[in-house]
Amino acid sequence: MLRRLLSPQYNRKRRVILMSVSPTRQAVWYAVKYFVFIIILMAVAAVLSAVFQFVKVSTESRAAYNPGRQKIIVDAGHGGGDGGAVSDSGLLEKNLNLELSLTLRDMLCAAGYDVIMTRSDDSMLTWEGAPSAKSGDLRARTEIASANPDALFVSIHMNKFPSASVHGVQLYYSPNHPASKSIASAIRDGVRAQLQPWNERPLKEAGSNIYVLDRIRSPAVLVECGFLSNAGEAAMLSHAEYRQALALVICSSLLDYLDKAG
């Protein structure tokens, strides 16, 4: 090809072609090209301007709604070698906790909150020097809360009880911060208003048996989302739609609480 381009015969042909285009037609051709170029530039500028405006407006509205960019720690209980409770049908608590927590994370992020996940995959957390994998996992979760003292801590779990008839969402709150009980109360009210009007289960203050709530000093609650020991509730929890409904109730209740708390 190169040899062909350099050949006098080829260039002679090309000169003939160029010479055959009149100066007027060349001018029109350049004008058309220039016009198309300007149109493309204007279209790109319009798209960029629209994108910029969208980002600006959404950032402003989020800032107005959440001026301090409240942080929320979503703690998916268990994980990895610690499966948590197991239903008769073989549902593992750790998987349900994670799926619900990831949905809750997405909802809270969409509402403009900064979300920190204690885990976002099927693994245990680790803490160097801990006497066991389980104690290291729990310690690491509390350390995430300690590192973010201005964050609300929301732990997601599934329940289990010897009596198979027991069912319904149960809220625990940390005794170490006065806001914990208010947050638990907001979520319990949301659950009753939107999902379980029959749920009379009272809020419970966490004792030393719930390590994370016992240790965390900032506002912290634990949501037991349902009993895997109850066949009906376990079947509901196995459906993504029901877990999404639970995540939505928790999310909207947190938003209600934060709205009222100012």
Nearest distance from residue 94's CB to Zn ion, in Å? 8
- Identify the helix (H) or strand (E) that includes residue 128: none
Span from 22-30, 33-41, 104-112, 155-163 in contact with Zn ion (CB under 5 A): 155-163
Asked if 226 interacts with Zn ion (CB under 5 A), we say no
* CB count in 10 Å sphere of residue 127: 15
In the complex with Zn ion, which residue's Cβ is closer, 77 or 219?
77
d(C-alpha 165, C-alpha 210), whole Å: 23
Q: Which residue has the tokens 């405006």?
A: 53
Which CB sits closer to Zn ion, 22 or 132? 132
Instruction: Report the nearest approach of Zn ion to the CB of residue 170 (Å).
Output: 11
* Triad 65, 68, 71: Cα angle to 5°: 100
Show contacts with Zn ion in window 17-76 (CB under 5 A). Answer: none
Binding of residue 79 to Zn ion (CB under 5 A): no
Q: Does 94 bind Zn ion (CB under 5 A)?
A: no
- Point out which span in 56-64, 77-85, 135-143, 194-202 binds Zn ion (CB under 5 A): 77-85
Among 94, 105, 119, 157, binds Zn ion (CB under 5 A): 157
Rounded distance, CA 91 to CA 238, Å?
7
- C-alpha angle with apex 106: 102 to 112, nearest 5 degrees? 140
Size of the residue set binding Zn ion (CB under 5 A) = 3
Distance CA 230, CA 168 (A): 9
- Closest among 249, 37, 232 to 156, alpha carbons compared: 249
The answer to whether residue 168 forms part of the interface with Zn ion (CB under 5 A) is no
Q: What minimum distance in Å lies between the beta carbon of 83 and Zn ion?
A: 10
> Which residues make up the interface to Zn ion (CB under 5 A)?
77, 84, 157
